[in-house]
Amino acid sequence: MATKGNALEKPAKNDNSVGTPRDTAGEIPLANNPDAKPPAPGQAGEVSAVPSAPNGVPPPSDDSDLLVRVAPHNHGGLLGRPGVFLCVLAIFIGGLGELAAWCLFKLIGFFTNLAFYERFSFAFVPPTTAHVGWWVLLIPVGGGIVVGLMARFGSEMIRGHGIPEAMASALFHESKIPYRVAVLKPLSTAINIGTGCPFGAEGPIIATGAALGSAVGQIITMTKERRRVLLAAGAAAGMSATFGAPLASVLLALELLLFEFQPVSILAVAIAAGVAYALRTVVMGIKPIFAMPPLPRPTLEPLLIYAAIGLFCGLAAVGLTHALYWVENLFKKHSHLHWMWWPAIGGVVVGLCGLIFNPSMGVGYVNISALLNAKVGFAFAGMLLLTRVLSWTVALGSGTSGSTMAPLFNIGSALGTVLAVALLYVAPHADVNVRAAALVGMASLFAGATWAPLTSIVFAFETTLRPNGLAPLVAGCTTSFLISCALMRHNILTEKFARRGGRALYRSQSDFMDDTLVIQACSHDPVTLSANETCGEVKTKLTTDEKYKRFNGFPVLDEQRHLLGVLTHRDFLPPDLPDETKIRDLIRRPPVVIYGDCSLRRADQMMDRHRVGRLVVMDREQPSRMLGIITHEDLLTAHSQRS
């Protein structure tokens, strides 16, 4: 903790001083201010804070030299033995990632052939060439029923996109994923895709690779930080084996799973992705998955047009994110069926869209290639855009096992094509290439939806190998990223667990204090005092009751359980204090409070700035409700339990 020594060693003055957290917090409607309202999300405020020193600046710490000065040890280089061992494990995980990707593609081919062609074959074929008539309405429903049963009686972790679940495991579950997820996730998604759902193989293979990496980290005893590296290495290996994009896979792992750039982490992830790609070239060859003809070198005018396409993709990313979670909330609030039947309901919509426009079904890699090569026109792109948006949002919102990357690529490339063709219709002499517009749309929509612009740019390049597309990609992806960040607090991957009380932080290095929320470390059942108690009654409790002896600070509540302030042992020490005095009369200022969804880093800064040893934890949704109390000891306990 950067300010821990300053806050712990100095005696706390005015332990019930006033203040509110600045971390998206405002004035808390306490009992002495019932009309106060919490600020809107994103706003900040502070009420009559008492500075920790006369000049408003905390005094320098007397123990600022407590940073231990240890003589350097020779561990054989920067990595040391643990780092070298981690890299060796990454080689093994890279091989597992390629094997898992190969098995997943074979499973998708098997279920597609079985459901649409009525034959036993592992060939990877799209369902769009099958002619099953009205049966197309029932096939996705059957797949949804099977997946719902697998989630209900196998593991609920197979539900969802794949990438958010891996992120949640890395951030909130000590990078531990149950072993069975490594089997059930690819199997359930293969059934879904094989029965026509509009998902891709990348989401489940990333989740599967992450599960394999986590499994290795659980079998071999190691810290959760190193286990997180193996989880990210497995995810990168899975994506690299699927798309043949090792560098984009490394960037995705760093941007979405690790949130750090430590040398050993980068090395392990890069080794796993490189090994998976090398094995992929042996199995599938070196041809890029989305091969396309050469692109012209862009000038200023087309770059501005591609930036405008990125703007539309950013708006579309915001709309898709809200639409997806609106559908998810619709199922949760208005469906009277058990959630295991929801994927079957989503399958009904998938079947209807497939009946209307058959290319809306399946992984859609063929659609992306057709759009990038300008083999289809405005009508195809428009129908694909509409049907894919509808079928994907409803199917994934129903809680089935799916993915986000391939659907977003389908929708984005179709949107880019529609915009470019429409522009050429309005302005025939506009300097815009339809194929480049499809490429920009594909990457920009993913960048805006996931907040991973570097991954999007590099992925689009690696899967097409067209260097003249880099400048348009930078223009489109950065614009889309800018628009999305300006309009959303969470992206399509983090919104899911942000609604459940978690959050993902984007930073250049790992920080445990920023990762952990106050609600996770605070005392949830603090000992409180009633405002109408007398000083004599409280003194008796403090000297005779063991429950009160263990604590130094006590929240004071009125008859309606509203928080009035915080009193400490020191407040009852004056010998001339009459025993009949009501303790509410001892409160001079409101307490320092913090919301439960703020970080421990924010709590540490609050304690140091206001020179207090504890903060009262309040509920952001019900600001008058006290959740607990957090002290310096709680911060130290959280630190001791982090490994």
Asked if residue 53 belongs to a domain, the reply is no
Average pLDDT over residues 398-415: 91
Q: How many Cβ atoms sit within 10 Å of the Cβ of residue 184?
A: 22
Least confident of 326-330, 379-383, 477-481, 556-560: 556-560
Question: How far apart (Å, rounded) are the C-alpha atoms in residues 496 and 488?
Answer: 13
349 and 275 share one domain: no
122 or 497, higher pLDDT: 122
Decide if 347 is inside a domain.
yes
Mean predicted confidence (pLDDT) in 182-191: 85
Do 14 and 89 fall within a single domain? no
Position with higher pLDDT, 464 vs 627: 464
Final residue in a domain of this structure, among 475, 498, 521: 498
Q: Check whether residue 276 and residue 128 sit in a common domain.
A: yes
Predicted pLDDT at 278: 95
Does a structural domain hold residue 627? Answer: yes
- Specify whether 443 is located in the same domain as 540: no
Residue 15 is predicted with a pLDDT of 40
Q: Give the pLDDT score at 81.
A: 80
Q: Give this prediction's pTM.
A: 0.69
Average pLDDT, the chain: 80
399, 265: one domain: no
- CATH number, domain containing residue 204: 1.10.3080.10
Confidence band, pLDDT 50/70/90 cuts, at residue 340: very high
570 burial (CB, 10 Å; 0-12 / 13-18 / 19+) is middle
- Asked if 262 and 349 sit in the same domain, the reply is no
Alpha-carbon torsion, ordered 75, 79, 84, 90, to 10 deg: 160
Query: In this predicted structure, what is the pLDDT of residue 78?
Result: 67
**446 occurs within a structural domain:** yes
For residues 86 and 208, membership in a common domain is answered with: yes
pLDDT band at 350 (very low <50, low <70, confident <90, very high): very high
pLDDT of residue 160: 74
Q: What is the pLDDT of residue 607?
A: 87
Residue 415 inside a domain? The answer is yes
125 and 254 inside one domain: yes
Q: What is the pLDDT of residue 498?
A: 67
Looking at 450, 472, 498, the residue that finishes a domain is 498
Dump pLDDT digits (tens) for 135-166.
889 999 999 999 999 988 988 878 877 666 66
Q: Is residue 414 part of a domain?
A: yes
Asked if 231 and 134 sit in the same domain, the reply is yes
Q: Looking at the structure, do residues 309 and 254 belong to the same domain, yes or no?
A: no
Kindly state whether residue 295 falls inside one of the protein's structural domains.
Answer: no
Mean pLDDT of 398-422: 92
Q: What is the reported pLDDT for 500?
A: 60
- Please count the residues of the chain: 643
Range of the domain at 404: 300-498
pLDDT over 70 percentage in the chain = 82
Residue 339: both structure tokens together: 């959630």
User: Are residues 278 and 328 part of one domain?
Assistant: no
Q: Which range has the worst mean pLDDT, 30-39, 344-353, 522-531?
A: 30-39
Question: Residue 605 maps to which CATH number?
Answer: 3.10.580.10
Q: Are residues 18 and 87 in the same domain?
A: no
| 49 inside domain | no
> Residue 611: which pLDDT band, with cuts at 50, 70 and 90?
confident
Strand order in the sheet with 614-618: 593-595, 614-618, 626-631
What is the arithmetic mean of pLDDT over 52-65?
36
Residue 107: which residues within 8 A CB-CB, separation 6 or more?
A: 186, 187, 190, 194
Tell me how far apart the alpha carbons of residues 162 and 38 are, in angstroms, rounded to a whole number.
35
Is 70 exceeded by the pLDDT of residue 45?
no
Last residue of a domain, one of 434, 467, 498: 498
8 pLDDT higher than 50: no
- Residues 180 and 188: their CA atoms lie apart, in Å, by 12
Encode pLDDT of 280-318 as tens digits.
Answer: 999 888 899 999 999 999 999 999 999 999 999 999 999
Which of 38-47, 299-308, 512-521 holds the top average pLDDT? 299-308
> Over the stretch 95-136, which tens digit does the pLDDT of each residue have?
988 998 899 899 999 999 999 998 999 988 888 878 788 888
For the chain, the domain total comes to: 3
